[in-house]
Amino acid sequence: MKSQYETVGRFVPRGMLKELGDSLKMAGVETTPEAFAGISVALAIASAGVVLFLSSALGLPAYASVSLPFITVLGVILAAYLLVALRIESRKNQVESTLPDFLHIAASNVRAGMPVDQALWFAARPEFGLLSQEIELVAKRTFGGESFGQTLDRLSGRFDSALLRRTVGLIRHGVSSGGEMAGILEDTANDVRRAQLLRKEITASMMMYVIFITFASVIGAPFLYSVSYKLISVLQRIWDKMSASGPLPRVGFLVPASPGITPEQFLWFSLAAILITSVVASFIVSVIQTGSKREGVKYIPMFGLAGTAVFLLITALLDIFTK
């Protein structure tokens, strides 16, 4: 079965497969990029077929029967990408949170007389979780004859972490130049911890921006869209009543006319605009809080549902007061 998916995945351009392979490696997904791409394409095609069958069975318009399967294919591919992206970000956060303590223990091992490679491997304790597991995996390659530098490069390549890459670069430079490794490891650990504390301070200082963006996307924009939707509905009702009594006279250069957009059209526009605003706001909040836009994917459902609920609630309240 896996070979069949790999056959389908080989139709994907080689450049995209290479980037996908790097992403899968950083996500810790132990499968080939061809197999992953083949599974995603097969799932997208199957989902589109189901949607097409349902749209035909329900008698939906022709444009819906064409657009819905296409949207389904894009949705499945986007979901696969987001799954990998979130896993990459989760692994990065896990390894960066334990990196300073790991380096301190490695420095103590070096001071106790261990070589640098053994000091790192013996510092991989169970409480460090994912970092220890990855170090144990790459340590096996060292025992198999791979050089220490290649092992470190392989470790940094399994995470999308600038802190880890910088740490590996310092260790490699220290080993090649014959520096005092215990001091280098301790200084690196302190620098990583200071960088993490600085990131937290920046996040705390920008909390007002997060509150403002959240309020604007979840409450402000839906409220304005709801009021505008109700205004168009009222104007449409007034125009229908006035035009039913006969043609309306022209007043100077003013020509009476119905609103240029129907309430139904503005309703769908409002829902689409709320969704787009929620997506953009989620990514902005994620960048402010974590420094990475990938984490924003987790906020999109919350922001989108909250904004839609506020829009529907305000619309229902305005319906009560305008009857």
Same domain, 73 and 128: no
The pLDDT of residue 323 is above 70: no
Same domain, 111 and 31: no
Same domain, 169 and 106: yes
Alpha-carbon torsion (308, 312, 313, 318), positive or negative: positive
Domain housing 168: 92-200
Domain assignment of residue 249, yes or no: no
Kindly indicate the confidence band of residue 55, based on its pLDDT and cuts at 50, 70 and 90. confident
Q: Which of 146, 126, 165 is nearest to 26 (CA)?
A: 165
User: Which CATH number belongs to the domain containing residue 164 in this structure?
Assistant: 1.20.81
Instruction: Specify the pTM.
Output: 0.73
Q: Which of 3-12, 82-91, 287-296 has the highest mean pLDDT?
A: 82-91
Q: What is the pLDDT of residues 88-138, one digit of tens each?
A: 888 888 888 888 888 888 888 888 888 887 888 888 888 888 888 888 877
Residue with tokens 């689409």: 272
**What is residue 173's predicted lDDT score, i.e. its pLDDT?**
82
- Tally Cβ neighbours within 10 Å of residue 96: 20
Domain assignment of residue 10, yes or no: yes
Q: How many structural domains compose the chain?
A: 3
**What is residue 193's predicted lDDT score, i.e. its pLDDT?**
87
Domain boundary among 32, 59, 89: 89
Q: Residue 165 to residues 96, 152, 269: CA-CA distances in angstroms? A: 11, 9, 45
Domain boundary among 48, 71, 89: 89
The pLDDT of residue 85 is above 60: yes
Say which amino acid occupies 176: S
Domain boundary among 66, 89, 112: 89
Rg of the Cα atoms in the chain: 29
Mean pLDDT over the full length of the chain: 82
Same domain, 191 and 232: no
Q: What is the pLDDT of residues 223-275, one digit of tens each?
A: 999 999 988 888 777 777 766 565 555 555 555 566 677 888 888 889 889 98
User: Percent of the chain, pLDDT > 90?
Assistant: 8
Same domain, 32 and 120: no
Q: What is the pLDDT of residues 146-195, one digit of tens each?
A: 777 788 888 888 888 888 888 888 888 887 777 678 888 888 888 888 88
Domain assignment of residue 239, yes or no: yes
CB 286 within 8 Å of CB 295: yes
CB 123 within 8 Å of CB 171: no
**What is residue 225's predicted lDDT score, i.e. its pLDDT?**
92
> Helix or strand or coil: residue 137?
helix
Same domain, 55 and 149: no
Domain assignment of residue 248, yes or no: no
Domain assignment of residue 250, yes or no: no
The stretch 27-56 carries a mean pLDDT of 85
Q: Which residue has the higher pLDDT, 292 or 72?
A: 72
Same domain, 183 and 260: no
